[in-house]
Amino acid sequence: MRIIICGAGQVGWQIARQLSGERHDVVLIDQDARLIQQANDALDVQGIAGHASHPEVLDRAGAADCDLLIAATASDEVNIVACEIANALFSVPRRIARLRGRSYLLPEYADLYQTSNLSIDVVISPEQEVARAALNRLDAPSTFDTETFMSGRVRLLALALTDDCPVLNTALRHLDQTFAGLRALVVGIRRGARFFAPEPGDQLHAGDRAYVITAQQDAARTLDIFGRPPPPIRRVVLIGGGNIGLAVAQALESRGGVNVKLIERDRGRAERAAERLSRTIVLQGDGMASELMAEAGLPGADAVLTLTDDDRTNVLAAVQARQAGAGLAIALVNDPALQPLAETLGIDALISPRSVTVSSVLRHLRRGLIRDVYSLGNAEAELIEAQVLPGSPLAGATIRDAALPPGALIATVDKGGELVKPRPDTRLDPGDLVLIFAVSADIPGIERLLQVSADWF
C-alpha cells in the first residue's frame, strides 16, 4: 500500500515508523527540512520537505498513485486542505485527518464531514481520544494502561508486578486450575527490554509488566488475584482546564457519584470551563501552588490527573500530588523521552497522546474486518479486534491449527455474544469476533490470516 503522511511530528513519525516497518511504501511530508532529513536517515521512508497542502508537493509525493493520505500536521486547516486537494486533483481513495480544534468537532457541525461537503473519510480527534483514555485509567486505577474491547465487555489490564504479587513464579497454565472459571489470560509480558507473548509454561516475575485480557465482569477478581485491587474513586482533582481537562470533567459529571475539582492557570480558560460545567468546582491559579492544591482538597483526593499542555508541568504536578497524599497520580506526557523518568518518580500511570492517536489511525488501516486496534508500549505490539471472515485462513480452524505467528496469540473469542476463553481446540467460525495480541513484527502475518483467501472466490 502506498501511503502519504503529512506531518513529521511525533504522531506522523510514529505512524511512518510503524507502517514502513510493515513494508508499506510510505512518503513523509513536512515543512521542516531537519525532520525530513532525520526521517530519511532513520526510517525506510521517502521524505519530502515542503508544504503538505501544496499541489506540487503532493504531486512529487506520488499522490496520483496513493492509496491513503493521513494528514497529521500541527495545523487543522492544512490537514483539511491536504485532504481536499488529494481528492480533487489526485483522486486519493481514502483520506484521514487529525483535527484538534474543538469548534470543528461540535455535534451541531457533524454534517461538515459528509463526503458531499469535505473530502475527509475519517476524523481523528486527539483531545477526545486522550480524554477517553484518561477516563479508562480511572475505571482501572491500579493499572498503568487499560482499554476496552468488544463493546466494553472485554478489558485490557496492564499491571506492574511487585514482590507481593500472589501469582509470581506460577506457570501461566496453572492459573486456570487455581482460579476456576476465571476468564483472564496473560497475553504479553515486558521483561526488561524484551516484550513477548508468553507460552503456557512461562512464569511471572517481580518487575514484569504483564498485559492481561479479561472479561469486564471478571476485571475486579483479576486485579485481586494479581494483588492490585482497585481503590474507590470518589474525589478527583484535574489540573489543566483545556479541551482534555474539560472533556474529562464533563464525562465525570455525567457519571455521577464523583466529586470533581478543576484547577486552571489561565483565567479565560477557567471562566470558560466554569460556564460549561455544572457540578465541578473550578479554581483559577497555578496547579503546582501548595496553597491551591490544599484548597482543591488534593491531599485527600482519590485521583489527580495532570492534563496541561506542558509535559514537565504535568510530571512535576503529579509528583507533588503524590507527595501531598493523593491516592493516584496520572500524568499526560507527550514526549517519549520523559516517560521512563516519570515512571521512576512514583507516577501511577502515563497517558501518551501520541500512542492514543496512533492507535486511532491504525484502527482504520488494518486489513480484514478490523473493529479496533490498540497500540502497546512504544508501538511494540498491538491488540487487534477483528471478525473472522468466511474464506479466511482462520475460518473453520482450531486455535491449535490456526498457524499464528510465534509472537501472537488469541486473547478471547466472542461467539454470538458469548465470551469464550480460548483453548487449543477452540474452533473459529465465520462471524466470530477475536481479540489478537501480536508483536509488531508479526502484524502482517495476522493481517494475512484475517483476509479472505483468493481461492475462496
| Separation of alpha carbons 20 and 27, rounded Å | 9
Residues 59 and 6 in one domain: yes
Residues 328 and 262 in one domain: yes
- Looking at every residue in the chain, the average pLDDT score rounds to 90
Phi and psi, residue 414, nearest 5°: -110, 115
Residues 245 and 197 in one domain: no
422, part of any domain: no
Weakest mean pLDDT among 53-67, 169-183, 239-253:
169-183
The residue segments making up the domain with residue 195 are 146-226
301, 333, 356 — which closes off a domain?
356
Tell me the average pLDDT across 238-260. 92
Percentage of residues of the chain with pLDDT beyond 70: 95
Residues 83 and 192 in one domain: no
406, part of any domain: no
329, 356, 383 — which closes off a domain?
356
Q: Specify the pLDDT at position 341.
A: 76
Percentage of residues of the chain with pLDDT beyond 90: 65
| Separation of alpha carbons 320 and 329, rounded Å | 9
Residues 97 and 21 in one domain: yes
| Separation of alpha carbons 435 and 412, rounded Å | 5
439, part of any domain: no
C-alpha distances in angstroms, 419 versus 394, 414, 425? 18, 5, 15
pLDDT band at 455 (very low <50, low <70, confident <90, very high): very low
Residues 248 and 348 in one domain: yes
Q: Specify the pLDDT at position 273.
A: 94
pLDDT tens for residues 91-141?
Answer: 999 999 999 877 776 667 666 666 667 788 888 888 888 888 899 889 888
89, 124, 159 — which closes off a domain?
124
Q: Specify the pLDDT at position 316.
A: 93
Residues 82 and 114 in one domain: yes
18, 46 Cβ separation under 8 angstroms? no
Residues 204 and 290 in one domain: no
> What's the gap between Cα 242 and its chain centre?
20
CATH number, domain with residue 239? 3.40.50.720
Residues 81 and 120 in one domain: yes
167, part of any domain: yes
405, part of any domain: no
Q: Specify the pLDDT at position 61.
A: 96
pTM: 0.75
* 140 contact partners, CB below 8 Å, separation of at least 6: 146, 155, 157, 219, 223, 230
Query: What burial class does residue 254 get, using C-beta atoms within 10 Å of its C-beta: 0-12 exposed, 13-18 middle, 19+ buried?
Result: exposed
Tally of domains in the chain:
3
Residues 260 and 325 in one domain: yes
Q: Specify the pLDDT at position 456.
A: 42
Tell me the average pLDDT across 41-66. 96
Weakest mean pLDDT among 110-124, 287-301, 311-325:
110-124
pLDDT band at 349 (very low <50, low <70, confident <90, very high): confident
CATH number, domain with residue 193? 3.30.70.1450
299, part of any domain: yes
Query: What burial class does residue 250 get, using C-beta atoms within 10 Å of its C-beta: 0-12 exposed, 13-18 middle, 19+ buried?
Result: middle
pLDDT of 159 > 90? The answer is: yes
pLDDT of 283 > 70? The answer is: yes
Residues 261 and 304 in one domain: yes
Residues 98 and 22 in one domain: yes
Q: Specify the pLDDT at position 201.
A: 92
pLDDT tens for residues 351-382?
Answer: 888 888 887 887 777 655 788 889 898 778 99
18, part of any domain: yes
258, part of any domain: yes
Q: Considering only CA atoms, which of 209, 220, 187 is closest in space to residue 374?
A: 187
pLDDT of 249 > 80? The answer is: yes
pLDDT of 457 > 60? The answer is: no
Spell out a b/e string for 206-245, using b for 16 or more CB atoms within 10 Å of the CB, else e. Answer: eebbbbbbbbbebbebbbebbbbebeebebbbbbbbbbbb
User: Which string of DSSP letters, residue by residue, matches 408-427?
Assistant: EEEEEEEETTEEE---TTPB
Assign residue 81 a region (left: φ > 0; alpha: ψ between -120 and 50; beta: otherwise): alpha
Q: What SS3 state is found at 379?
A: coil
